[in-house]
Amino acid sequence: MKQRSRKIIVVADAEELAQKAAARLIERIWQGSDPVRICLTGGSSPQRLYRLLAGEPHRAALPWARVHWFMGDDRFVPESDPLSNMGAARRAFLDSAPVPRQNIHPIPTTANNPEVAADRYEAELKQFYGADRLDPGRPLFDLVLMGLGPDGHTASLFPHAPALEETQRWVVGVAKAGMQPFVPRVTLTFPPLASASEMLFLVDSADKRPILGRVLGGEDLPAHRAYAQGDLIWLMIRAAVPGAIK
Ligand code: 6PG
C-alpha cells in the first residue's frame, strides 16, 4: 500500500481549525493549477470552514472564477435533501459566494441509480483532467478535503468495502452505507482522491479521539489507507488528539 508520511497539525479548537484550513485552502488556490480544482467533503467537520469562505475577507479576495469545486462523496439524494453533501456546501458557501455555476461539479445524484451517477461523475472528472489515466506527476486536484467517520471510514469508503481495493474505477456506487445515514452513496476511490497536491483531513470533535488513535496507530481502516501524492495533512483539535501522539 502506498503511504506517504503524514504531517499532524494540532489546533486549539474548531474555530482555529476552520481558520487554519481556510489558510491552507487559500494558499493552494493561489499556488494551484489554472483552473484550480478543490475536492470538498461532506459531514459536519468542514461546515465552519465553508461558512468562513463565504464571509469577508475571503469572499472579496478569492479568485472565484478560476476555482472549480468537486465533491469526494455524496449521499444518493437530491441536493434539496438536508443529507446532501453538495446541498450543504451550496448552502454554506457556494451559493452565496460569487462562484460561476459551471465551476460547481456535483455528483449527479438524480441519476437512475448510484452506479450510473458514479459512471457519469467519473466521465466528468476524466474530461476535466483531460486523460483517462492518472499521471502521478500531474495531480487531478490541488486540494482534497477529507473527514473521519467514527468507524474509520473516509469519503464513503467504509471498512471492509470492496471499493477500498478499487484501482481502476475513479468513482463507484455504494449500495449500502456502512453507517448512518443509511442511504446509498457515490464515492471517489483512493486513486483519484490521492491524486492531489494536498490531502487535508479535518478532525474537529473530541468524539473522534478513539478512532483517531486507531487510525494514526496504524490499524487497517479506510482513513489509514488514504494517501496522497502530495502532502498528507491531518488537522485536528487538541481534544481529539490520542494519548499516544500527545
Ligand atoms: C459523508 C462523508 C463522510 C464524513 C465523515 C465525517 O458523506 O458522510 O463525506 O466521510 O466526512 O463521516 O463526518 P462528520 O464531519 O460529520 O463527523
Give me the pLDDT at residue 31, please: 92
Supply φ then ψ for residue 101, to 5 degrees.
Answer: -50, -40
Residues with CB under 6 A from ligand 1: 41-45, 73, 75, 85, 147-149, 153-156
Share of the chain above pLDDT 90, in %: 93
| Integer Cα distance of 230 and 199 in angstroms | 7
Measured from the CA of 157, which atom of ligand 1 is nearest? 10
Region 182-209 average pLDDT: 97
Lowest mean pLDDT among 29-33, 163-167, 188-192: 29-33
Whether pLDDT at 185 is above 70:
yes
CA 69 to centroid of chain Cα atoms = 11
Whether pLDDT at 121 is above 90:
yes
Of 14, 13, 20, 2, residue with least CA distance to 200 = 20
Choose one of 45, 50, 207 to mutate for the ligand 1 pocket test, by most ligand atoms within 8 angstroms of C-beta: 45
CATH 3.40.50.300 at 6-245, yes or no: no
Whether pLDDT at 64 is above 90:
yes
Over residues 146-173, the pLDDT tens digits come to 999 999 999 999 999 999 999 999 999 9
Minimal-distance CA residue to ligand 1 atom 11: 147
Give me the pLDDT at residue 144, please: 98
User: What is the number of other CB atoms lying within 10 angstroms of the CB of residue 241?
Assistant: 19
Reported confidence tier of residue 117, pLDDT bands at 50, 70, 90:
very high
- Distance, CA 55 to ligand 1 centroid (Å)? 23
Whether pLDDT at 246 is above 80:
no
| Integer Cα distance of 11 and 237 in angstroms | 5
Give me the pLDDT at residue 189, please: 98
Whether pLDDT at 4 is above 80:
no
Give me the pLDDT at residue 104, please: 98
CB 21, CB 49: distance < 8 Å: yes
Of 2, 34, 9, residue with least CA distance to 24 = 9
CB 141, CB 211: distance < 8 Å: no
Whether pLDDT at 138 is above 80:
yes
Give me the pLDDT at residue 2, please: 47
Measured from the CA of 153, which atom of ligand 1 is nearest? 10
Minimal-distance CA residue to ligand 1 atom 5: 149
Q: 84 CB contacts (<8 Å, ≥6 apart)? A: 74, 75, 77, 78, 109
